[in-house]
Structure formats: structure tokens, C-alpha cells
Amino acid sequence: MQTVSVNLGARTYPIHIGESLLTDSAQLSALLVPLIQGRQVAVFTNDTVARLYGQTVYDALKDYAVDVFTMADGEAFKNLDTYRAAMDFLMEKRHNRTTCLIALGGGVVGDLTGFVAATFQRGVDFVQLPTTLLAQVDSSVGGKTAVNHPLGKNMIGSFHQPKAVVIDPLVLKSLPAREYAAGLAEVVKYGVIADHNFLVRLEAQTQALNRRDSTLLGEVIKRSCEIKAEIVAKDEVETGVRALLNFGHTFGHALENLSGYGVWLHGEAVSVGMIMAARFSEELKLLENGQAERLQKCLDAVNLPTALDSPLSVDEMLGSMGMDKKAADGQLRFVVTSGFGQAEVIDSFSDQSLKRVLTEFFQG
């Protein structure tokens, strides 16, 4: 087992990464038990994940009164209705401020559970047991919690750090191919924004990634968590450098919004969004020509979408991006890369260059 620390003062917490942590209840119990204050615990999960790993978690928590909240799977259910149902559940089961919520699942389960934990009785403890690659390398790290609003993703939420994250790379063996690839989009992103060597390693090992080599995955998850943890430690509530993690996301969110929730997986939209962001970086003469194509090849090689099936309207894209929460009072901001391994935020650029990039992209 390896551990990455997310250093946030009083809210510092560990990310434990190790094979079999979600199938070996004794190991899991040793990690969870010291974190639990009271006698009640609530496991938030969905049917698919519960069938695979639920028993390990319940066994690990056998000395506690465990209530299980099972939510429907999918981004469409990460909403205020499910949030309310979760609050009803905790109240009816008489949980109090010493409860601990355990998020067992992907990003949807983690984001919702985190927001419930952030706001149940003004904040209770929670632990993340992420079961998708995306959740392991991204959404479970850094304390962002949220549900969606019909007019925008993650528009309702807060910052609330977990007490710990426990990651078992072996669970990725059972992940559907699309979801697995979607997680790799964020992994590649870390290389692009923060570590060129890491990107080079990923480019060289796409085959091992595709066959889900668990040793490689352990390393890749660890490095991804380290990069994210370092950025989050510098800027817990996203007033500065944390925005760099949104590379590809302004475009990606717009794609998701225009297509309706559930058409794209988040990582798929980010994959296409990163290529748009790289092309935009080239258009602005920040990035050497040809690098966007290099990125596209890497994403292609790990089975991620890199183009749209049918073009979208440029105006609709611009409108959707204006609504994006990264827009600072009317001023659109973008994360661009000035060479792989580094990124920056820009808020001044010609509308024409943005339109040109979108138009060319939609024309293929």
C-alpha cells in the first residue's frame, strides 16, 4: 500500500492506494475504523458497485450500525432530488453529527455523498472509496462536492474534504471500457498541465494502460493524485492555481451541457475539450503547432473520443461557455497550455480566435 497526503492543515488527509483494498475486509477495516467517531455509519452506493464490493465494506464495518443508501446510477441522478432523498434517509435513520458517510462508487456517488456530508447537520465526516478511474484520480481528491442543476453541472455544492480516500486499482478490471477510458482523460490532463515526463510515459505505455496493467495503474493513479494534491494544497477553494485543473473543462462542460447529461461521459467530453484547448493554445501562439495533434494521438490510442459525431453550433457553444461557472462576471477565462507540462489561465484574447478554433474543429 502506498499513501499520498493531501496537505490542508487541519483538514489534511491520506489517499491510500493498494491492490485488494476493496476485497480484503480486514485491510479495509484497519483503515476505516480509526476514522469513525460514533456508532452509526451510512454507506452510499449504487446497485452495481454494491454487488461487487458492498460485502467487503459491510464486513469491514461489522462493529457499527450500518445503513445503506442505494442511489440510481448515472450523472442524471446527481441532483437535488437524490440529495433530498439522502437527507430524508439520514434523518429517518436518526444519524447525528458523529456519523460517518462512506461513498462507495464513482464520481456521481462521491460528489453527492460529499455534498450530503458537507451539509447534513452542518457537516459530518465522510470517506471516499472510489471505484472508477475518474473518481480515483480526480473527483475523490480535493474536496469538491456537488449536485447538478438542470441549467448547469455542479452548480450546487461546496468544498468539504474527506477524512480519507481508499483506492484499489484492481477494481478497474471490472470497469466498462468507456468509463475506464474516460478516467484516462484526466490522467493525460495531469501530464499536459503539470508533468511532461509523465505524459511521455503515458504515451509510451498506452498498450499497458489499455490492458489495465495493475502495477502500472497503481503508479499512474499515485502520480495523478500527487499532482492534484499538490495543486489543491496550494489553493483549496479555487481562487487561483486550482483553475489549471480545468484544462479542457470549459469546452468539455459546454459539450456536456449542449448534449444533455448522460450523452457524454465527463472524461470523454474532457478529452475532446482538451484537444480544443490545445488547438486554442496553438491559435494563440502559446503552443507549438503539431502538439494538439500529438495530444489527439495519445487520447486516440487510449480509446477516447477526439472529435464530434456531428458538428455543434458555434454560437450555442459560446453561449453555453458564458454560462459556465469559470466565467468571472462576464469575462470568459480559459486554461491553456504553453508547452506540455505547464498551463496557465488567460482572460484576454480575441473572440475571433476562439470562434475560429471552434469553427475549424466542428468542420473536422
Asked if residue 38 binds a copy of itself (CB under 8 A), the reply is yes
Hey, what amino acid is at 74?
Answer: G
- Name the one range near a copy of itself by CB under 8 A: 96-104, 196-204, 210-218, 304-312: 96-104
H/E stretch holding 149: strand 144-149
Q: Which of 95, 144, 153, 189 is catalytic?
A: 144
Hey, what amino acid is at 238?
Answer: E
285 as an active site residue: the answer is no
Nearer to a copy of itself, 26 or 151 (CB): 151
Nearer to a copy of itself, 146 or 295 (CB): 146
- Name the one range near a copy of itself by CB under 8 A: 91-99, 103-111, 133-141, 301-309: 91-99
186 as an active site residue: the answer is yes
Asked if residue 327 binds a copy of itself (CB under 8 A), the reply is yes
Asked if residue 151 binds a copy of itself (CB under 8 A), the reply is yes
Residues 93, 87: Cα–Cα separation, whole Å: 10
CB neighbour list of residue 167: distance below 8 Å, 6 or more residues apart? 15, 16, 17, 18, 21, 130, 136, 140, 221, 225
Asked if residue 112 binds a copy of itself (CB under 8 A), the reply is no
253 as an active site residue: the answer is yes
- Name the one range near a copy of itself by CB under 8 A: 142-150, 164-172, 261-269, 340-348: 142-150
Residues 216, 218: Cα–Cα separation, whole Å: 5
160 as an active site residue: the answer is no
122 as an active site residue: the answer is yes
33 forms beta bridges with: none
CB of residue 177 to a copy of itself, shortest distance in Å: 32
Asked if residue 152 binds a copy of itself (CB under 8 A), the reply is yes
Residue that has been written with the C-alpha cell 460485502 in this structure: 55
222 as an active site residue: the answer is no
149 as an active site residue: the answer is no
14 forms beta bridges with: 5
Nearer to a copy of itself, 66 or 327 (CB): 327
Q: Which of 257, 266, 268, 282 is catalytic?
A: 266
Give helix 177-194 / helix 266-283 axis angle, nearest 10°.
Answer: 30
Nearer to a copy of itself, 149 or 297 (CB): 149
| Number of residues this chain uses to bind a copy of itself (CB under 8 A) | 42
H/E stretch holding 32: helix 25-32
Note whether 11 and 233 are within 8 A (CB).
Answer: no
The rounded radius of gyration (Å) of the Cα atoms in the chain is: 20
2 forms beta bridges with: 17
Asked if residue 122 binds a copy of itself (CB under 8 A), the reply is yes
Q: Which residues of 37-70 are buried (b: 16+ CB within 10 A; e: fewer)?
A: eeebbbbbbbeebbebbbebbbebbeebeebbbb
Residue from the set 12, 47, 94, 359 that interacts with a copy of itself by CB under 8 A: 94
Q: Contact positions toward a copy of itself, by CB under 8 A?
A: 37-40, 80, 84, 87-88, 91-92, 94, 96-98, 115, 118-123, 144-146, 149-152, 154-159, 237-238, 323, 325, 327-330
Which residues are known to be catalytic?
122, 144, 186, 228, 238, 242, 246, 249, 253, 266
